[in-house]
Amino acid sequence: MATKSYSEMLTAIKKVNLENSKDLSALDSLKILEHGNISSYYIPFDYVSEKAKVVLIGITPGKTQLFNALSSVQRSLMKGLEQEDVLKIAKNEGAFSGTLRKNLIKLLDHIGLHEKLGISSTSSLFDKDAYLVHTTSVLRHPVFINGKDYSGSTPNMLKHPLLRDMIDVYLMEEISKLPKAIYIP
């Protein structure tokens, strides 16, 4: 599997029209994989917070996270920000965004992660305390089955060759950079 990077996808990100945040056809220029009813799109989650104490791992970003991250990049570029800042902000704004984030924060606060990290709430992991966390997914780039968010069940990501390649290429690279972090799936 050929990997895609922010630099390679930047022109497409700048040109994509994000007005209809439900329409994947608007993102054809960002498609990195298509096999039968499976499709995957580039998401600007290249930034790795190498000083993170905690790694939060989801299954795969969905449409909400994809469109939020892409919108973030477009806004940051209009402000003239440097690439590293663009990618940090995109990850902070896109990762686990939407209702998912609200529920995740409740869960993480309930188990006391904020106390272990010495912060008032895990909600700050997505802004001022973002350096403490690295967010990722087993499948870093959003995967869709028939245009719908992939739930992780069918097909089995460990048995499907293209999905397995995504794990081996992206997730394993990130894990190797964060050997001492606490991993929370």
113, two tokens: 């992660």
Q: What is the pLDDT of residues 45-102, one digit of tens each?
A: 999 999 999 999 999 999 999 999 999 999 999 999 999 999 999 999 999 999 999 9
1 domain residue, yes or no: no
Q: For residue 155, is the peptide bond before it cis, meaning its omega torsion is within 30 degrees of 0?
A: yes
115 domain residue, yes or no: yes
Q: Calculate the CA 167 to chain-centre distance.
A: 13
Length of the chain: 185
- Host domain of residue 42: 6-16+24-184
Nearest CA to 134 out of 78, 92, 168 is that of 92
Global confidence as pTM: 0.93
DSSP state of 124: G
168 domain residue, yes or no: yes
Number of domains in the chain: 1
44 domain residue, yes or no: yes
58 domain residue, yes or no: yes
